[in-house]
Structure 1
Amino acid sequence: MKSYKDLDIYNLAFTYAIETHKVSLKLPKYELYEQGSQLRRSSKSIKDNIVEGYGRRIYKQDFLKFLTYAHASLLECLSQLEMVDELYEIAEIKELKQKYDILGGKIFSFIQYVEKNWRT
C-alpha cells in the first residue's frame, strides 16, 4: 500500500459519502440542517477516520483505534439512514443501507486483518 487510496474500504467510503450527501439534499428543507447534517457528517467521518488511521499505521493500536472509529461512524450513519427511511420516501435510501452494511463487514474484516497481521 502506497496510499490510503489503495484501500478498498476508503474508496467505497468516499463514494458512499458522496452518494449520501446528494441523497441528503432530497430531505425536506426543515431537515437539511438537522437530520441531513448529521447524516452527511457521519458518512464523511467514515472515510476521514480511515485516512487518519492510515496516517498512523506505524502504530498498530492507533491504526486499530481509528478503524474502530470508522466502523462506529458507519453504524451511526446506518442509524441515520434507518430514521430517514422511516420518515421519508427517498428511493435511494434502501440501496445506501445495503451498501453501508457491506462496507461495515469489509471494515470489520480489515480490523481483524490488522489485529492479526500488522507489523509495527
Structure 2
Amino acid sequence: MHKVEDLIIWKKSIELAKAVYLVCEKLPQNEKFGLVSQIKRSVISIPSNIAEGAGRNSNKEFLRFLSIANGSSYELMTQIVLCVELNLIQQSEILEIVKLINEIQKMNYAFHQKFKSNI
C-alpha cells in the first residue's frame, strides 16, 4: 500500500485536473454534455485510479490501476487535441496541460519499470 498524498504522480494529476477544468470553462456551452463531459471523466479518472491503486495491497494491483490511469491520460490527450483541431480552444491554451500529461505518462512508465521487476 502506498500513501497517495506522497505520490508526485498523484499530485501532478490533481494539478492536471484543475487545469483541465479551467480550460473546460472556456469551451462552448453546446459541448457541455458531449466533449466537455468526456474530457472531465478522462481527467478525473487519472488521479482516481492512481489513488485506488495506491490503496490496494500489492504492487501488481497498483500497476493495473496505473495502467488504467495511463489509458485515461492518452484519452484525455486525444480529446484536448480534438478541441484544438475543432477550433474550440487555441493551441496556446493547452500547452501546460500537454506538458503535464506527458510528465504524468513518463512518471507512470517509470513506476511500471520499477515495479515490474519486483513482481
Cα offset, 1:25, TM superposition: 1.4
Q: Which amino acid aligns with 1:4?
A: V
Q: 1:2 to 1:42 in 2, by over 3 A?
A: closer
The aligned counterpart of 1:44 is: 44
CA RMSD of aligned residues (A): 1.6
Instruction: Tell me which of the two structures has the higher relative contact order, counting C-alpha pairs closer than 8 angstroms and 6 or more residues apart.
Output: 2
- Determine the C-alpha separation between the residues in 1 that align with 2:104 and 2:58: 24
Structure 2 unmatched runs, 5+: none
Q: Counterparts of 1:36 and 1:44 in 2: how far apart (Å)?
A: 12
- Distance in 2 of aligned mates of 1:61 and 1:54: 11
Provide runs of 4+ in structure 1 moved above 2 Å: none
- 1:19-77, CA deviations, whole angstroms, 9 ceiling, x for partnerless residues? 10111111011012210111111011000000000011x22221111010011111111
Q: Which amino acid in structure 1 is aligned with residue 25 of structure 2?
A: L
Match of 2:19 in 1: 19
Runs of 5+ in structure 1 lacking a partner?
Answer: none
Query: Are 1:107 and 2:102 counterparts?
Result: no
Q: TM-score, normalized by length of structure 1?
A: 0.89
- Contact map agreement 1:17 1:43 (CA 8 A) in 2: yes
Query: 2:4 aligned with 1:4, yes or no?
Result: yes
